[in-house]
Chain A
Amino acid sequence: MTAIEGSADTSKVASSLAHRLWVTAVWTLVGLFIVNLIGMIATVITSSFASRWLQAWLPSGFTTKWYFSAWNEFQLDDVLLVTFQVVFAVVLLSGLFGVPAAYAMARREFPGKKFVMLLFLLPMLVPPITYGIPLATVLYKSGLGGTMAGVILANLVPTVPFVILIMIPFIEQIDPKIEAAARVFGAGTFRLFTMILLPLLLPGMLAALLLVLVRTIAMFELTFLVAGPTSQTLVVALYYAVFAAGVRAVQSIDAMAVIYMAVTVIWLVIALRYVNPAQIVTRGNQATAH
């Protein structure tokens, strides 16, 4: 940046100044976004510990009592239990459905493969609320609406394709010669799977399933449309609490929001050890770019 010192070229100086202004403007934009983001999250956390917070920058005192009242008022032990049951069932089932399908898609060329690929891409491109309403209708007509099974089934619609799309490139980079060699040495399908494929696939599966876990905790629309009173997950319970604001103390709702954030962020931090944050957004959509 100091290369212009000796230069008498004023246009060069001007363009360098414009460049610096531009860079500053871009970083200011990013800074403002992050400050507001942190401000938003900090507001929730501060409010959840506030004994009273009216017309001031900071609360008049701090307390943890809202966590206990939120826990009782919103029956969070039940809600958390349901949330984890739903999330782990979704993770397990999306792995069971998704990984074998991804293996077939990565290893074989078969007639209609493009059509099958489209079938897996569409649920990721159509927003949940669009297909969620017909799906909820079908689930309610078949008696699954309002049950935990219905919630799990609805959540599988975006997660199974998600696992497949993450796993396909991962499986493609494993050399098929390794499997062929195992066959030559007499490994049956079961041994091939447990001793060769599973260890090789484990890192990819871990990443995919952790992302499914984080996404399912935060999946609002589908769960909201399908869940009944006993099959609400944390995010849906949070929605109802905010929706009925005024019935409960604001701090109580904020305490629940902090619990929700903690649950999500713990798993996000674990997931980020295995995946690049950009993957959370882009991996599923990469395949569409071609």
Chain B
Amino acid sequence: MTAASTRDDRIPLRMRLSARGLDAVTLLVLPAVGLMVGLFVYPFLYGFWLSFHPKDGLSVVGNYLRFFSEPRLYETIAKTLWIALPVTAINLLAAIPVAFRVRLMRRQRLLTTLLVLPITLGTVLVAEGLLNYLGPQGWLNRTLLLFGLISSPVKLVHNYWGVFLSLVITGFPFTFLLTLSYVTGIDPTLERAAATLGARAASRFRHIFLPLLIPGLAITFCLSFVQAFSVFPSAILLGAPAGPTRVISIAAYEAAFEEYDYSLASAIAMIMAAVQLAIVGLILASRGLFYRGPASGGKG
């Protein structure tokens, strides 16, 4: 630093720094950066380091070997994916047509407010509510019985379907609102132009909207998937946490707070992050195969 300041000492250091965008205002970013490094980056790196230092201290990769050799542990990946992938796909497939309808509505506020409700109430409350509502004496089973759709109550809680439905209740609004923001971001004149040129609704969707939407839908899928993959309270409260809904976050939680093996817990958290990253990476990479460009249209 001293060598640099003697070389061109005609211009003060402060001015040279501010020419590069570094001045007192830039320093305002530092407290937040420090906080994030301390509470996010450091714990992550520490967890990564800790995962290679197993409790028994035998082997550096001992935790990972243990994870992939014990069915109780490695099966959680498949179980989590088996819940998260179908839920995300269904939520997204349902969200697209609904978003296209709602886009045409002038008064969307009531609907969006209703849909924001399950997101803000959170997974614990939804699990608690569904426990009664979906139960054998709940209103859903009673209604289905009343209309003769079923002959005896369907078991919807303490199994796979309880978790599945809770993820639909919290996940669909999230997916829908994201999709809606992408759909409304497309310039409506593009569709009108296609309609003027004689394109039917189906082909307008296929040739105009879909290519423009793919990047946004890929991101929506990733964000919704990551949420579903980290399902935790409803998998315990509404699912069968010892059986088919023993998801990976339950395994990590048990390792940390029931076995007090923070090292194994960190390893599971790292595996969890890696699986999420792999799926997200896969989706975003395949996005590159499609059109990427402005969705606003018109002249510059």
Contacts and interface: CB of A to CB of B under 8 A. Distances in A.
Contacts of B47: 133-134, 137-138
Nearest to B135: A43
A137 B128 contact: no
B30 to A, nearest CB: 8
A177 interface: no
Q: Which of A43, A44, A265, A285 has the most CB of B within 10 A?
A: A43
A127 B276 CA distance: 10
B178 A130 contact: no
Interface residues of A, number: 97
B266 A277 contact: no
Contacts of B40: 119, 122-123, 131, 135, 157
A220 interface: yes
B150 to A, nearest CB: 16
Contacts of A254: 128, 132
A53 B131 CA distance: 14
A220 B170 CA distance: 14
Nearest to A137: B262
Contacts of A257: 125, 128-129
Interface stretch (A1-9, A61-69, A98-106): A98-106
A39 interface: yes
A178 interface: no
Contacts of B216: 289
Interface stretch (A19-27, A78-86, A180-188, A201-209): A19-27
B128 A127 contact: no
A220 B124 contact: yes
A182 B98 CA distance: 49
A44 B39 contact: no
Given A119-B33, A285-B223, A23 B28 contact: no
Contact of B142 (A54, A57, A156, A189): A57
Interface stretch (B2-10, B64-72, B187-195, B231-239): B231-239
B17 to A, nearest CB: 9
Given A36-B169, A105-B29, A126-B273, A238 B140 contact: no
A23 B101 contact: yes
B32 A268 contact: no
Contacts, number: 263
Contacts of A44: 125, 128-129, 132
Nearest to A238: B124
A29 B28 contact: no
Contacts of B92: none
B46 A242 contact: no
Chain A contact residues: helix, strand, loop or mixed = helix
Contact of A39 (B41, B94, B119, B140): B140
Contact of B120 (A42, A109, A113, A268): A268
Given A129-B252, A130-B273, A281-B177, A110 B26 contact: yes
A137 B46 contact: yes
B44 interface: yes
Contacts of A232: none
A278 interface: yes
Q: Which of A22, A40, A57 has the most CB of B within 10 A?
A: A40
Contact of A220 (B29, B123, B140, B272): B123
A110 B20 contact: yes
Interface in B16-57: 20-29, 31-33, 35-37, 39-44, 46-48, 50
A87 B117 CA distance: 19
A115 to B, nearest CB: 10
A272 B32 CA distance: 27
B130 interface: yes
A154 B269 CA distance: 16
Interface string A237-253: 01100110100001001
21 contacts: A26-B97, A33-B172, A36-B133, A40-B129, A57-B142, A101-B31, A104-B26, A111-B20, A113-B21, A116-B33, A125-B226, A130-B230, A133-B252, A135-B39, A137-B47, A137-B266, A138-B46, A239-B237, A281-B178, A285-B178, A286-B181
Interface of A: 15, 19, 22-23, 26-27, 29-30, 33-34, 36-37, 39-44, 47, 54-55, 57, 96-98, 100-101, 103-105, 107-111, 113, 116, 119-120, 122-123, 125-131, 133-138, 140, 153-154, 156-157, 160-161, 164, 189, 214-215, 218-221, 224-225, 235, 238-239, 242-243, 245, 250, 253-254, 257, 260-261, 264-265, 268, 272, 276-278, 280-282, 285-286, 288-289
Given A126-B226, A260-B125, 15 more contacts: A30-B98, A39-B133, A57-B139, A96-B31, A100-B31, A126-B276, A127-B276, A129-B230, A134-B46, A137-B47, A138-B43, A153-B39, A156-B39, A214-B120, A242-B128
9 shortest interchain CB distances as A-B pairs: A134-B47, A127-B230, A101-B32, A218-B122, A110-B21, A100-B28, A104-B29, A40-B129, A277-B112
